Amino acid sequence: MTASSGDDLPNRAAVRVEVLPWKKALNGAKPLRLAVFVQEQGIDESEEWDESDPVSWHALAFVGAQCVGTGRLLPEGKIGRMAVLKAFRRKGVGAAILKALMDEARKLGLPELRLSAQHQAIEFYRQFGFETEGEPHIEVGIPHQWMKRRDVNRG
């Protein structure tokens, strides 16, 4: 899948997103998740890898040949591990990843999507039809909020 939402990227570069199984995505996703979650956010590396990776679909975002973002879709409809390199944030990369994962969920016939958003990302997810649900909680030492989108098939 290719998503072209790079109007405000450096040199007006296009964002290309591929949705892949873990075996094909790990070489791009692992370094990104290490950079964003472990190095930048200080999450213990043992918290980053789990049994969900091999059974999930993984979106990789590229600008040119560089992999700059990732996210995953679990079989039960949970989106997670959304990560974009700092230099590429607020440039449409996260939106392209989320759209690709939502498209994949539609193809799979999932009735709803849910995610646990870091507090600073709640408004980002609201733009895509996600609504907050339940009480805020702490994951890996960081405040999060559960969010859900019930009608996956609407734009």
Overall number of domains in the chain: 1
Share of the chain above pLDDT 90, in %: 83
Classify the C-alpha dihedral 101-127-77-29 as positive or negative: positive
Q: Which domain CATH number covers 30?
A: 3.40.630.30
pLDDT bin (cut points 50, 70, 90) of residue 13 is low
Decide if 130 is inside a domain: no
HSE at residue 53, side-chain half, CA atoms within 13 A, is: 16
Cα dihedral: 89, 91, 96, 97 (round 10): -10
Decide if 133 is inside a domain: no
Decide if 36 is inside a domain: yes
Residue-wise pLDDT tens digits, 45-104: 998 999 999 999 999 999 999 999 999 999 999 999 999 999 999 999 999 999 999 999
Confidence at residue 150, expressed as pLDDT on a 0 to 100 scale: 86
Cα dihedral: 106, 109, 111, 114 (round 10): -60
Decide if 104 is inside a domain: yes
Could you give phi then psi for residue 76, rounded to 5 degrees?
Answer: -85, 5
Decide if 14 is inside a domain: yes
Decide if 76 is inside a domain: yes
Residue-wise pLDDT tens digits, 96-138: 999 999 999 999 999 999 999 999 999 999 999 999 999 999 9
Q: Tell me the residue range of the domain where 34 lies.
A: 10-111
Decide if 131 is inside a domain: no
